[in-house]
Structure 1
Amino acid sequence: MALLKVLLLLLLGLGVSVNSDVSLQKRIIGGYDCHATERLYHVRVESSNGTHLHHCGGSLIHSWWILTAAHCWAFEPGWTNEIVINVHPRTAGEQRRMIQQAPVIYTQGGQQHDIMLLALERSITDVPLAPLPDCRHKIRVGHVVQLAGEGATTTGPNNQRLPPGAAIPPHLQCVDMRVVRTSLNVPTRGHVLYAAAPNKDICYGDPGGAAMHNHMIYGVISLGGANACESPVTILNVCEYKDWIRTTLGIH
């Protein structure tokens, strides 16, 4: 063991990058298996062109509608998009796939935001819904949000995120983070808030999933930095879009 430590110090001194077991084996990253009784509304948004397969998360917020991130939809020719229901827990029953054609993306002043609603081809009545937030009690700095997703559970060299299409973990991963900034309008992203926690982060495959607070969907995961655990997670602030969501869904 002493010899190994000496070799590691020598390699670091020579500028050679060394990853510890901790950095190589982080979950969602730094998370835990979501409980089998929570997150039943979580869905998978899959995009494929026959040779490549990418996936995101999403949430069933109405028997006919999914809420997710707009960048999770592949618009390029040759790509198809599907929604997979019953991804958590794995014992929830047979996974059901639905093909979608017409996403509804929030647009303000000609600028699309990274938030999207997907209409299902048939109603889902046997899966619990993710409740919309009570925006009389807005999310604030210091509040804890729970994120979840099926992104990679490991990182690459120097904590780089594994590329889209990495293997899906056997269990949906959850992670708790604390809100560090709120109520920002980023022109290329939308109305966002930021959350972070030491040695915890998201990965490709996690965007689109819900940021839950008090068992309500206060946010939609958008993205993180190029390397894990270097910058807060960007989250779309659902309270800023609640009127648009309700109007689109026909809720009065």
Structure 2
Amino acid sequence: MALLKVLLLLGLGVSVNSAISLQKRVIGGHDCDDTDRHYHVRLEMTNGTQTTFCGGSLIHPMWILTAAACWKSETGWNNVAKLNVHPRTAKQTHFRAIDLNVVYTSENGKHEIMLLKLPRPVTGVPLVPLPDCSKRPKVGAIVQLAGEGATTTGPNNQRLPNDATATRLQCVNMEVAGSPQFVAIYGHVFSAAAPSKDVSRGDVGSAVVFNNMIYGVITPVVPEQAFQIRVFITDVCEYIGWIRTTIGLQ
């Protein structure tokens, strides 16, 4: 509840439409083209009785970019990266032991961005290009979000658990609605919105692209009901130096 109050006080709220159909995708999107987003990664966290999942993006043959929330460090949890999940006709590749997770931290604590190192290099999977930070999307620009989270909501637009998956990777276009800012609970973010469109819990960590490059990572989803606030997106350009240093790029 405190988190929701913080977000609403930022002035990023939008009105809820109680008449919105329950049959909406990413929510409100469409099936991603089979030729796009082959770099999308499904991150599954399981303890044998419970499984949750996130999205991620392959940015280097050994590194995945995602949200910090997409990792379970508690005893008994296993973190698995699954590649080639889109299109569904591809042969999936599973990495059951992610070797290293690196979360960006500062004096203000953990930010919602994380790099995961795979135990060996990936071959045959395209990488999503890192952004050209001299050409960042401005307010009003159209960015594309995607994910495998639930494509529907429950009564009163209640979000479904993040173990509810879409049958295909979903894409949705949204308009950049807020300039980059620092939010203590997330780090450096911008926001995006579109009428009757939102993201689901399982979409967290997935890429936000502009001009076919990754400029953002979907942050953890709040509040409990969809369509209440804009989507918060971790601003990759604010972390590009840390990313390039961590994965070994000059």
- TM-score, with normalisation over the residues of structure 2? 0.90
Structure 1 stretch 133-142 or stretch 210-219: which is displaced more? 133-142
Do the aligned residues in 2 keep the contact of 1:218 with 1:239 (CA within 8 Å)? yes
CA shift at 1:22, angstroms? 5.0
Question: Equivalent residue for 2:121?
Answer: 123
Secondary structure at 2:44 match in 1: strand
1:140 matched to 2:138? The reply is yes
Measure the CA separation in 1 of the matches of 2:92 and 2:47. Answer: 24
Measure the CA separation in 2 of the matches of 1:98 and 1:203. Answer: 25
Runs of 4+ in 1 over 4 A off after TM superposition: 19-22
Structure 2 counterpart of 1:121, which letter? P
Question: Equivalent residue for 1:29?
Answer: 27
Do the aligned residues in 1 keep the contact of 2:80 with 2:94 (CA within 8 Å)? no
Distance 1:194 1:110, change over 3 A: closer
Question: Equivalent residue for 2:47?
Answer: 49
CA shift at 1:67, angstroms? 0.1
Structure 2 counterpart of 1:188, which letter? I
Q: How does 1:156-235 map to 2 (within 5 A)?
A: 156-166=154-164, 168-226=165-223, 227-235=225-233
Secondary structure at 2:182 match in 1: strand
Structure 2 counterpart of 1:147, which letter? L
Measure the CA separation in 2 of the matches of 1:191 and 1:78. Answer: 32
Specify every segment of 5 or more residues in structure 2 that has no aligned partner in the other structure, as ranges.
Answer: 1-16
Measure the CA separation in 1 of the matches of 2:187 and 2:209. Answer: 19
Question: Equivalent residue for 1:6?
Answer: none
Do the aligned residues in 1 keep the contact of 2:95 with 2:118 (CA within 8 Å)? no
Q: Percent identity?
A: 55
Secondary structure at 1:71 match in 2: coil
Do the aligned residues in 1 keep the contact of 2:100 with 2:118 (CA within 8 Å)? no
Do the aligned residues in 2 keep the contact of 1:223 with 1:233 (CA within 8 Å)? no
Question: Equivalent residue for 1:71?
Answer: 69
CA shift at 1:110, angstroms? 5.0
CA shift at 1:215, angstroms? 0.3
Do the aligned residues in 2 keep the contact of 1:219 with 1:238 (CA within 8 Å)? yes
Larger radius of gyration: 1
Alpha carbon RMSD of aligned pairs, Å?
1.5
CA shift at 1:102, angstroms? 2.3
Do the aligned residues in 1 keep the contact of 2:20 with 2:196 (CA within 8 Å)? no
Q: How does 1:52-131 map to 2 (within 5 A)?
A: 52-131=50-129
Structure 2 counterpart of 1:195, which letter? A
Do the aligned residues in 1 keep the contact of 2:25 with 2:150 (CA within 8 Å)? yes
Secondary structure at 2:134 match in 1: coil
Measure the CA separation in 1 of the matches of 2:62 and 2:81. Answer: 12
Superposed CA offset, 1:15-71 (max 9, x none): xxxx98952111110000000000000000100011110000000000010000000
Number of equivalences? 233
Question: Equivalent residue for 1:11?
Answer: none
Superposed CA offset, 1:89-135 (max 9, x none): 01122343332142100011151101000001111120110000000
CA shift at 1:224, angstroms? 3.4
Q: How does 1:8-19 map to 2 (within 5 A)?
A: none
Structure 1 counterpart of 2:200, which letter? C
